[in-house]
Amino acid sequence: MKKAILYGILTVSFLFMFVNFGLGATLVYLSQEKQVQSQLSAMQAPSLSSMKSTLGLGAQEDLTLLNQRTDKNNITRFRYNQRYKDIPIWGYHILVAKNPAGNVVGLSGVKVAGIAADIPANAMTAALTAQSALSKMKARHITNSPISDQNWVFENQVS
């Protein structure tokens, strides 16, 4: 138990060092990126793809809308999560405010840049196929069940 906690603390510490001390990915505070803000503000109702391009996101990066709300001044605020190879980047969000015409009137939050430099090309390869993961889960569930003669029915499975 103590080893697992120590391992977790060390992992988080190293990730913090990599992100914050420039050993790979870097944090970009969008409230300080005046050029990006002016480019987005100059666009007429920018689409998500044009915002991604202006923010400098690569082909393997994406933005996922987490939520949106409109305030009493009719400004709609969008909260996006950045993703790399369809995996969410936790802890950092990009916030965009648009007026009723759809034009960007505010940009804040944090973009993580240079993610690819931290992740080897083969690091994103699945260790299990969907079918082998399902088979392992079934075997583990049946083996660990206190009822040995139970005929289990697994719902929402592919096969």
Q: Give yes or no for residue 35 having a pLDDT over 70.
A: yes
94 backbone dihedrals φ, ψ, rounded to 5°: -115, 125
Which distant-in-sequence residues (6+ apart) come within 8 Å of 158 by Cβ? 130, 131, 134
Domains annotated on the chain, with CATH: 26-122 (3.10.450.490), 126-159 (no CATH)
HSE at residue 83, side-chain half, CA atoms within 13 A, is: 11
With a cut of 80, say whether residue 92 has pLDDT above it: yes
Indicate the pTM of the whole model.
Answer: 0.63
More confident residue, 138 or 78: 78
pLDDT for 148: 64
